[in-house]
Structure 1
């Protein structure tokens, strides 16, 4: 228990109402006294005396302040699949003890509550559920915490609450009005799948990253041995080759460069049913988890990572590096929502002031909308280095088993395969997300195209 300050202003007594018990006690006492007067029987007065005295004794100190209710959520870095903890605190700021306090709270279905209890004495609620009343008593000037513990099943901002409490005092003769507090949203970050891309980036900008570029320069990757020239460092001299050739030679290396990676999330459509961290993954599940994994990998290597949404909102996260950017990316991903719109999405985010010419654009898309394919084709025609990652679930089932539904589903599949083939003909590689190594072969091909000589028209 935690102490609640009693100096706060108490609410008026109008927040309290008589219970049926008080009404029955007053009614019975009145009936007995009236009957004693009309019938002239003293024994009825003696019979009514305990009810009258008991009611008066219970009401000698009437409560004036309503209970205080607060929801506290664990602010730790919670990842889906991890243990969640929340608390519903009910306080008594009055000078009269609460005989009974009934507390009830709603919890998001993506926060699976397994144990609920007051003061650490929890009960297993996996079968009965957490959305049920829990009862306790609260002494004067104290607070009692209803502790919720369980597992976070899916990424997002999930509410704990609203919560409500109602208390009874004066031996159950008075009951407070219902006190309801607003929900508190618990942040659950996506679980990043193990991702590794060892291939060189198509192009790189600064000399501060960890990618072995195709260009010579200061780095740790040996590119060969060449004749000493102006500007070469003396520590690069290869003395064995120099003595054998009787001419100074230096070890040539490839420069380690950073790159800008833009992760573009297609949020025009959602498909599949989400089953949480251990269940089936929908399009948004795969998109968010893949984006978090890609951002974590490239930020760890010192690259600049930016986030974009292809949808009506066109949200954007500016490119940056470091751990702070990674935490910002996770916060940004919590607000990803599928937003369908009949209008053309906002395409000005793909301008040169947003997408640099040397950036690697990783597009996470289910390719459910023709506008997504057109966007990929425009990026490729604009000279961008584009990689399309297919996020559509492989086990996507047809909408029905009767009538023309299976046939229409197969026709839609064939049309989508044709769209993917056309994208590949336009130079847009399309690869299905499969965790580690998903982009290695594609990055190898993109890097080869970037270093190939281009023929310009005279």
Structure 2
């Protein structure tokens, strides 16, 4: 597709970045040999044979290039891109010179998580794509190891002077994250193929792919609502829709709250008392100390990090839609955090924040760094997404529970995690590790930490019901 006009270079650089090709060397050598032989031997026919080579070379070099080609990458402007969605991008080559580019060889790299199934130069609205480049070869993505991108080859075209040609890439996003398109490079041959430019390489452009939110629904009440307005019924009296009882009329009560049936029977004004509707704060804690499993993209198996990120996006979307405040924390060396807020803007911020989640192993205990003083509200519901692969994760859950927090642990370890294939004691060690992990989960439940496996819709309903019941029970204080 011919794009916008490229401004021509105003400052010529005759020899910068251009070199003769072997074709120029052969033409000069052949013409020189024929001329020398014709003069020495006195043969006019050899001079006549040398004339086309000499004249052709001189004619091709009459206008020499003065500027290198321009290369840039343009991501598609189709709005927010989600896992499984279509991705488009274009690698453009511009000719700012006063001579035509006879041959342009363009090649680009693309992230394996962006499966490009159609790539080619478009002219007059029709893409020029070789049939072999349009069909992926086997596999389901990077995890399969057998998929080949249609962009994984050089593309050849010509670019007239002062114009742009676009290499259009069309594909599908397989996994969340910031995936690079590029680097891209181009080399140009001009003057009839006698001069070639050096490779012009452009830095990659990263395409943001947001996680696909899994269906999530939690219909149970929050353990404790602390905000001023919201969709949850608190235990405090106020303006709301939940009936708390009937009491005697007092100054300041609204007339529309009068219960006339009770008032006539008691011969004294009574009003209906209600509970105030309040919002809650949800803290989603991401355990990034360990990773397990192999990611297969949106259509394949999910690793621990995949489950963690997608479940976080689903939980945040659910509670933000209900008007609650949501904050995010990383339990790891970096201890990244996202302040609590509500609304659509916070949801977009959550998705952007999740793109930078990485698993970082460290021997450092990050508890005091993550849960500093006055960083976690005592009324917040803490949803911990953890694979429980590190002993520090279990200790963190126990410490939060002993501190009186409302904690829900979500197990993100893949259910189809396979055992080692090596012979010997590998299988026995794997079984022992599984038993030790089950014992650790049982001990956490005995200490009051509910542990539930993430399973999409309704994953947390039963746990939230139990936590809400514990929150309303009287607490015994001790010293």
TM, length-normalised to structure 2: 0.92
Aligned counterpart for 2:50 among listed residues 30, 48, 51: 48
Distance (Å, rounded) in 1 between the aligned partners of 2:478 and 2:69: 80
Tell me how far 1:222 sits from its aligned partner.
3.4
Q: CA deviation at 1:216?
A: 3.1
Q: Answer yes or no: is 1:159 the counterpart of 2:180.
A: yes
Are residues 37 and 8 of structure 1, via their aligned partners in 2, closer, same or farther at CA, if it must alter by over 3 Å?
closer
Match of 1:121 in 2: 127
Pairing 1:363-442 to 2, within 5 Å after superposition:
363-442=384-463
* Pairwise CA distance, 1:196: 1.4
Residue 321 (structure 1) aligned with residue 342 (structure 2): yes
Task: Give SS of 2:410's match.
Answer: strand
**Quick one: distance in 2 between partners of 1:301 and 1:206?**
13
1:147 maps to 168
Structure 2 counterpart of 1:23: 25
1:173-227 Cα offsets, whole Å, 9 max, x none, are 1110000111111110000111111111111112211122343321123344444
Q: Is the 8 A contact 1:258 1:302 kept in 2?
A: yes
Displaced runs of 4 or more, over 6 A: none
1:162-181 aligned within 5 A = 162-181=183-202
- Render the CA deviation track for 1:365-402: whole Å, top value 9, x for unaligned: 00000000001111111111111000000000012252
1:365/1:388 contact within 8 Å kept? yes
The offset of 1:8, in angstroms, is 5.9
Aligned residue for 1:191?
212
Give the one of 309, 332, 349 matched to 2:330. 309
Give the secondary-structure state (helix, strand or coil) at the position aligned to 2:357.
coil
1:96 aligns with 2:99: yes
Is 1:205–2:208 an aligned residue pair?
no
2:316 is equivalent to residue 295 of structure 1: yes
CA deviation after TM superposition for structure 1 residue 325, in Å: 1.2
CA distance in 1 between counterparts of 2:478 and 2:127 reads 79
State yes or no: 1:109 paired with 2:112: yes
SS of 1:14's equivalent in the other structure is coil
Structure 2 Cα separation of the partners of residues 333 and 247 of structure 1: 59
Show the counterpart of 1:3.
Answer: 5
Write out per-residue CA displacement over residues 14-43 of structure 1, whole angstroms, 9 at most, x where no aligned residue.
311111111111111011111101211001
User: Separation in 2 of the partners of 1:379 and 1:310?
Assistant: 13
- Tell me the distance in 2 between the aligned counterparts of 1:278 and 1:10: 53
SS of corresponding position for 1:294:
helix
- 2:65 pairs with 1:80: no
Counterpart position of 1:60:
62
Q: Distance in 2 between matches of 1:320 and 1:94?
A: 53
- 1:415-440 Cα offsets, whole Å, 9 max, x none, are 00111011111111100111111111
Residue in structure 2 matching 1:216, options 214, 221, 237: 237
Instruction: Describe the shift of the 1:219–1:99 C-alpha distance in structure 2 as closer, same or farther (beyond 3 A).
Output: same
- Aligned-residue Cα RMSD (Å) equals 1.6
**Which segments of 5 or more consecutive residues in structure 1 lack a partner in the other structure?**
none
What is the distance in 2 between the residues matched to 1:77 and 1:206? 31
TM-score by length of 1: 0.96
Question: 1:266 aligned to 264, 287, 290, which one?
Answer: 287
Instruction: Give the secondary-structure state (helix, strand or coil) at the position aligned to 1:201.
Output: coil
Structure 2 gap ranges (5+):
138-147
Distance 1:333 1:8 in 2: 46
Partners of 2:335 and 2:369 within 8 A in 1: no
Kindly tell me: are residues 457 and 376 of structure 1, through their superposed partners in 2, closer, same or farther at Cα, counting changes over 3 Å?
closer
Distance 1:43 1:7, change over 3 A: closer
Counterparts in 2 of 1:40 and 1:250: CA distance versus 1, 3 Å: same
Query: Is the 1:268–1:341 contact (alpha carbons within 8 Å) kept by the matching residues of 2?
Result: yes
**What corresponds to 2:159 in structure 1?**
138
What secondary structure does 1:13 align onto?
coil
CA distance in 2, matches of 1:244, 1:85: 73
Contact 1:8–1:93 (CA under 8 A) maintained in structure 2:
no
- Does the 8 A contact of 1:99 with 1:168 survive in 2? yes
Q: 2:14·2:64 contact (CA, 8 Å) conserved in 1? A: no
Query: Are the aligned partners of 1:196 and 1:436 in contact in 2 as well (CA < 8 Å)?
Result: yes
Q: Which moved more, 1:245-254 or 1:103-112?
A: 245-254
Match of residue 145 from structure 2? none
Matched pairs, number = 458
